[in-house]
Amino acid sequence: MLSYSFLLDQLPDPNELHRAVAEVFKVPPANVHVGKLYEDAGGPPATVSCTYIDLDGGEFLWRVDIGADDTVTGPTDVQTAAALARRFGVRALLDTPDSDEWWRLVTADEDRLVAVDLDELDGDRYVLTGKTRT
C-alpha cells in the first residue's frame, strides 16, 4: 500500500488533478478519487485516493495526501511530486527523515534540499529561509 504526503504552493484545479493522478499512477480515472479532506464523503472505493487540505499561511498552502491500494505499484513520493510540478508548474515540499529544518523542494526544473523557518514551522506554516544544501 502506498501512502504519500507533501505540500504544494498552489492547488491545481481538482478536475485536472484527478486526471493527472490517474495518469501518474496508470489507473483508469474511474478508479481515482480526489477530494477535500474532511469535507468529502469519499465516494465509491477507489484504487488511488488523493485528498487535500488548505493550511493556514506560509508559502506552501496545501497539503496533499495520496494513498493507493495493494494493486498499485506507483511512483515514489518524489516522482509523484515531480510529475505534478512539471504538469502544473507548482512547487512541492517533502519532509526529510533527518531534520525538521531541511526539506526537499521539487519543482518542474529541480530537486534540492532547502531550509524552512523553524519559528514559522512551529505555527504549522511552511516558509523557506533561502538556504539550500546539496
| Cβ pair 106, 91 in contact under 8 A | yes
- Per the structure, the count of domains in the chain is 1
Per-residue pLDDT reduced to its tens digit, 26-35? 999 999 999 9
H or E element: which one contains 92? Answer: strand 92-96
46-50: long-range contacts, CB 8 A cutoff, minimum separation 24: 47/71, 47/72, 48/21, 48/22, 48/72, 48/74, 50/17, 50/18, 50/21
| Cβ pair 52, 65 in contact under 8 A | yes
Residue 41 has a pLDDT of 61
| Cβ pair 58, 125 in contact under 8 A | yes
Per-residue pLDDT reduced to its tens digit, 93-131? 999 998 999 999 999 999 999 999 999 999 999 999 999
- Which of 32, 28, 53 lies closest to 43, judged by CA? 32
Q: Which residues of 97-131 are buried (b: 16+ CB within 10 A; e: fewer)?
A: eeeebebbbbbeeeeebbbbbeebeeeebbbbeee
User: Which grid cell sits at 98?
Assistant: 533527518
Q: Which domain holds residue 32?
A: 2-133
The residue-averaged pLDDT of 67-87 equals 94
pLDDT of 76 higher than 70:
yes
pLDDT of 38 higher than 90:
no
Residue 42 has a pLDDT of 60
pTM of the model: 0.91
Percent of the chain at pLDDT exceeding 90? 84
